[in-house]
Structure 1
């Protein structure tokens, strides 16, 4: 009986320790606003670009250069999928329009992410497309 009780307690302990998955841990770290610092490897961005995650509602929003965007996302392990993103319709000119087009195009390609400290890397496979800091 003691052996059975010990086995049961051990299994419960293992289950409790194993409950925190990478997705849950990453998702918790994903919550909040991040300031976008780089698009692809070489593109510098204006300070005001941002992306925010609400892990309770699984919503994403941000500023893409001229307009605001919002939508939903889902996370499983270290993969991320964005639902359709809605944007405001403000008229953009020049560089703001180019940055916005690039940002929204890159967001549509993202399928993975990683977080190191306060730095978020949004990726297509292993290639980092967007870097942001919290």
Structure 2
């Protein structure tokens, strides 16, 4: 009987430790994702400087949404993020046509359709594709 009690206590302790580790791991991941919260000014798209177009990405981590300005239109979409990846839905938004920004807007929306990995260092967000090429760079507004 003592053997079963000792064995039960051991498994209870082991399970409890694993639960604490899982909670701590989830909290760290949630903290990493919450660092995304805020407004970012897109500076580079597929290797081209696009800062003159004032493209924005506003991350709302409470609602898991991204919204902003795409050069001519406003947009919004949902996202899911983990430690390294960022999966976005296709953005919905206004449908104004602006000839001078239409190419940039197409390139910007193309980012949302690609498989992306995120790297947030300080105030700079870089999104890379599956080949490791930076497809978007943005600076967080402070």
Q: TM-score range by the shorter chain?
A: 0.7 to 0.9
Out of 35, 45, 68, the position equivalent to 1:62 is 68
Query: Which segment is superposed worse, 117-126 or 102-111?
Result: 102-111
- The residue aligned with 1:101 is 106
Of the three residues 2, 13, 28, the one matched with 2:34 is: 28
Structure whose residues are more often helix by fraction: 2
CA distance in 2 between partners of 1:104 and 1:85 (Å)? 7
Q: Deviations over 1:78-117 (max 9, x none)?
A: 11111121020112112x1111111111222142111000
Show structure 1 runs of 5+ residues with no match: none
Give the superposition deviation at 1:13. 6.5
Question: Structure 1's 43 and 15: CA in aligned 2 closer, same or farther, altered over 3 A?
Answer: closer
Provide the residue aligned with 1:133 in structure 2: 139
Gaps of 5+ in 2: 1-8
Larger Rg: 2
